Chain A
Amino acid sequence: MDIYQIQDIDHYYGDKQVISIDDLAIAPASIVGLIGPNGSGKSTLLKLLGFLEEPTYGTILFNGREKSSFSNGDRFKITLMTQDPYLMHRSVFDNVAYGLKIRGDTKDIRNRVGEALDLVGLAPENFTRRKWYELSGGEAQRVALAARLVLKPEVLLLDEPTASVDADSARLIKKASLQAREEWGATLVVATHDWQWLYETCDSVLHLLHGRIFKGGLGCAVYGPWRIGQNDLLQKELEDGQILVAPKPVEGKQFAVLDPSRLKITLPGKYPLLEWNIDRLNGFVTRLFLERNGDTVQTAIKVAELVITIRMERERVEKLQLYPGKEVTIAYDTRDIEWF
């Protein structure tokens, strides 16, 4: 059974819709990466998965149960580390031991706190007695992670855990998180901008844009101003003068999204079909990243001010002989552009 099942959730802050996911399942003991630009809903989705907020509409099932039928035990199985984790104004020991104490689970607490600190690369003999203000940013982040690992959670939700720490701390945080899965089979959901981590260690990567999940890569949002062109289509002039064509939006929708799974990549001048509804944009490859499965490559292409990341078959990348800097053409069906 999936550890999480999400069904038709819509989440609002005031009038603003921040999450809209029809269907999502997360398998136990898997590592799921979340990627998307700032404001794409990653943190909100993590809070929903942590049951710290309830979705405005729809249900999230954890081990087949809704929050209303949770026992204390269920609540204790999930923990979230926010982007700027707060360290309580206490010693490192008290910070790490807090979760165990409120669970009344204080047996052998010194050793367990020590082990958790070891796991994140902080020597217990040097750190347990330190005050919260005697830690560097990276150390504080690792103490916060230790405070979660000591609980041996079934689900560990991490919100950009390595965004603001030094390289060494980032390495130790990644290592400790992976150990959580290896040692007690924790399920990890990690929001990060660290591509290497995402594609080397995650079993699946969810691309989030404006609260929606895109399957074929990272969607690319296009904002106005638009002008009305031929055939009643809208035109957006990009910074380099290229024109992006889109159908007219339904009222109330604000931006157009290029869904990467519907885009076709060719070399310039090689696209044979010239149908009325197919349009083209020229850009160049900025980054290629082989995913953990070894079969697909995340290919980032810059078109004027837009960056579109597309998941491509490895064979196709080889056939086109793509490399960073190589010019490519993206063909898209204007009818496929969606408005949100």
Chain B
Amino acid sequence: MDFFQEGFAQAVTLLVNRDPATYSAISATIRASSLAMAASLLLGIPFGYLLGYFDFRLKKFIRIVVNTLLSLPTVFIGLIIYALLTRNGPLGEAGLLFTITGIAIGQTILSLPIVIALTATAVEAADRNLRITLMSLGASSFQIAKSTLWEVRLGILAAAVTATGRVLTEVGISLMVGGNIKWQTRTITTAIALETNKGEFGMGIALGLVLLLIAFAVNIFLAGLRRRA
């Protein structure tokens, strides 16, 4: 149990004393996950919306594929991205292996199915009277689509919350694509893995608490958005 007390005390010390290595890991975590979330929301919301809003022939099949991708293991994504970005790989020229951008690409693949699936579900679950109400008030097809998106904003926010949690806490992609390079691609989760391997449990717990603190801050922000919405 000493680990927990030690870890809690150390977390406070690291944050208060502005420990450079810790802050570097926090920065890497926030940069990679922000990039990944921006990309997955930009791509995932429109795609999820189309998937939920329209009825077409392959809709059910695509839903099954998207739902299957929810179970993608992070190490598998890490492996694929590594294979693509490695010097001899098809995208090796881009020089993205062991970079924050490389991690963000992997994390986008991780979070995209979450955003798509939850957005599509939110749109499908919209009241069936919504469309006819908007039509009866004179809305055009474009205005109906826009207003429907606004009506399901809480569902989309829930998708963002879930995806953010997944991206912030994954370790497989960061470790394999990022390489856990100190001062550069070492994120909080890869740092925890390293400290645990070194037997520095207290430090690991301290970093874990810092990660939870970041997640807490992100969720306070999203809760604020939710209240305003």
A residues near B, CB below 8 A?
A: 47, 50, 52, 75-76, 79-82, 84-86, 88-89, 98-99, 102-103, 144, 147-148, 151, 157
**Contact indicator B138/A103 (Cβ below 8 Å):** yes
Residues 138-167 of chain B, each 1 if its beta carbon lies under 8 Å from chain A, else 0: 111001000100110110000000000000
CA distance A47 to B133 in the complex (A): 11
The reply to whether A50 and B136 form a contact with Cβ atoms under 8 Å apart is: yes
Residue of B nearest to A53 (CB): B132
Give the interface size bracket for B toward A. Answer: 10 to 19
Whether the pair A81, B138 counts as a contact (CB closer than 8 A) is no
B residues sitting closer than 8 Å to A (CB atoms) are 127, 129-130, 132-133, 135-140, 143, 147, 150-151, 153-154
For the complex formed, measure the closest distance between the CB of A82 and the CB atoms of chain B, giving whole angstroms: 6
Report chain B residues within 8 Å CB of A52: 132, 135-136
Q: A50 CA to B151 CA in the complex, in Å?
A: 23
With A84-B129, A85-B133 known, 9 other A-B pairs at CB within 8 A are A76-B138, A82-B136, A88-B130, A89-B150, A89-B153, A98-B147, A147-B137, A148-B136, A148-B137
Number of A-B contacts (CB under 8 A): 51
The answer to whether A102 touches B136 (Cβ under 8 A) is no
Determine the chain A residues whose CB is within 8 A of the CB of B138 once the complex forms: 75-76, 79, 99, 102-103, 151
| Chain A residues near B151 (CB-CB < 8 A) | 88-89
A144 to B137, CA, bound (A): 10
Known contacts A86-B127, A86-B129, A86-B130; A81/B136 CB under 8 A: yes
Q: Which residues of B contact A88 (CB under 8 A)?
A: 130, 133, 147, 150-151
Q: Tell me the nearest residue of chain A to B139, going by C-beta.
A: A102
Query: B129 contacts A85, CB within 8 Å?
Result: yes
Which residue in A47, A84, A98 is a CB contact (below 8 Å) of B137? A98
Residue of B whose beta carbon sits closest to that of A153: B138
Asked, given contacts A88-B147, A88-B151, A102-B143, whether A151 binds B129 with beta carbons under 8 Å apart, the answer is no
On chain B, the residues within 8 Å of A81 by CB distance are 136
| Minimum CB–CB distance for B34 against chain A, Å | 28
25 residue pairs bridging A and B, Cβ less than 8 Å apart: A47-B132, A50-B136, A52-B132, A52-B136, A75-B138, A80-B132, A80-B136, A82-B129, A82-B132, A82-B133, A82-B136, A85-B129, A85-B133, A86-B127, A88-B133, A88-B147, A89-B151, A98-B137, A98-B147, A99-B137, A102-B143, A103-B138, A147-B137, A151-B137, A151-B138
